[in-house]
């Protein structure tokens, strides 16, 4: 069975402090005191908006052009790490996100961009990514290094705390890559907000995408 390793991320703890007056005040409350704070967004995934995770990057897309995360400012970006020879987790991610986006109204679906960053750039050249990634959804974009080396993609993985380890090849030369399976949701402003664990349903992902899409800039 293909083994996945989920990266260990340290998330900030939210401290909720509530106060209650011991006696009712005789004075009428001011209008300002009656205004309650807007409730924090709730996600099915883990809110990592307060953690130093993510950042802009530039890689080569499956059509051979340089693509940066910042190119999609104004859209919600789904960031997936994987590789085309992955037997289970990667195709499951892509299929489930395709199903999630299909649950959105057309105008919201058009405001979501999935980026698939290869953890196996030596094999995942643009031509192969072009046959693989858009097969799940024509809007999905596969990304790899320009020269097939690992330095560019590893730099992106480091930004997001993702990991990958190439396994010893089989006699026929085939090898697998164990990699972390979390995916990331990035808001319209380019900030990494949610980490989604493997196994989320399409409906859960769709609801988290809607929450981000409905947030004010």
Q: Bigger pLDDT: 111 or 10?
A: 111
Average pLDDT over residues 24-49: 61
Average pLDDT over residues 134-139: 98
pLDDT tens-digit series, residues 85-131: 999 999 999 999 999 999 999 999 999 999 999 999 999 999 999 99
User: Token match 């899409």: residue?
Assistant: 213
In a domain, 37, yes or no: no
CATH code, 119: 3.40.30.10
Q: Is 73 in contact with 190 (CB distance < 8 Å)?
A: yes
In a domain, 27, yes or no: no
pLDDT band at residue 74 under the 50/70/90 scheme: very high
What pLDDT is stored for residue 40 in this prediction?
61
In a domain, 33, yes or no: no
Q: How many domains does the chain have?
A: 1
As a whole number of angstroms, the distance between CA 46 and CA 13 comes to 12
Q: What would the two tokens of residue 118 be?
A: 């290869």
pLDDT tens-digit series, residues 187-216: 999 999 999 999 999 999 999 999 999 997
What pLDDT is stored for residue 16 in this prediction?
32
What pLDDT is stored for residue 216 in this prediction?
73
In a domain, 11, yes or no: no
Q: Which residue range(s) make up the domain with 70?
A: 52-214
In a domain, 6, yes or no: no
What pLDDT is stored for residue 9 in this prediction?
37
Which residues touch 122 (CB under 8 Å, ≥6 apart)?
148, 149, 150
Residue % of the chain over a pLDDT of 70: 81
What pLDDT is stored for residue 217 in this prediction?
65
In a domain, 152, yes or no: yes
What pLDDT is stored for residue 15 in this prediction?
30
In a domain, 40, yes or no: no
Please indicate if the annotation marks 20 as binding a ligand: no
List beta partners, residue 118. 82
Mean pLDDT of the chain: 86
């Amino acid at each position: 069975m293909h083994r996945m390793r989920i990266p260990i991320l340290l998330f900030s703890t939210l401290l909720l402090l509530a106060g209650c007056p011991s006696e009712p005040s005789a004075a009428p409350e001011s209008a300002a005191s009656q205004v309650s704070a807007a409730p924090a967004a709730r996600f099915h995934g883990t809110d990592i908006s307060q953690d130093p995770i993510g950042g802009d990057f530039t890689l080569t897309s499956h059509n051979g052009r340089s693509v940066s995360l910042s190119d999609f400012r104004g859209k919600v970006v789904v960031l997936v790490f994987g590789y085309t020879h992955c037997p289970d987790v990667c195709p499951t991610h892509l299929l489930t996100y395709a199903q999630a986006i299909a649950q959105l109204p057309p105008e919201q679906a058009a405001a979501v961009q999935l980026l698939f960053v290869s953890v196996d750039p030596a094999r995942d050249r643009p031509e192969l990514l072009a046959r693989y990634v858009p097969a799940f959804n024509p809007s999905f974009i596969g990304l790899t290094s320009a020269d097939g080396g690992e330095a560019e993609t590893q730099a992106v993985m480091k930004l997001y705390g993702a990991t990958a380890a190439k396994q010893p090849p089989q006699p026929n030369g085939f090898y697998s890559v164990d990699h972390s399976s979390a995916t990331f949701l990035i808001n319209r402003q380019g900030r990494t907000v949610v980490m989604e664990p493997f196994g989320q349903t399409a409906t859960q992902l769709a609801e988290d995408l809607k929450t981000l899409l409905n947030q004010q800039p």
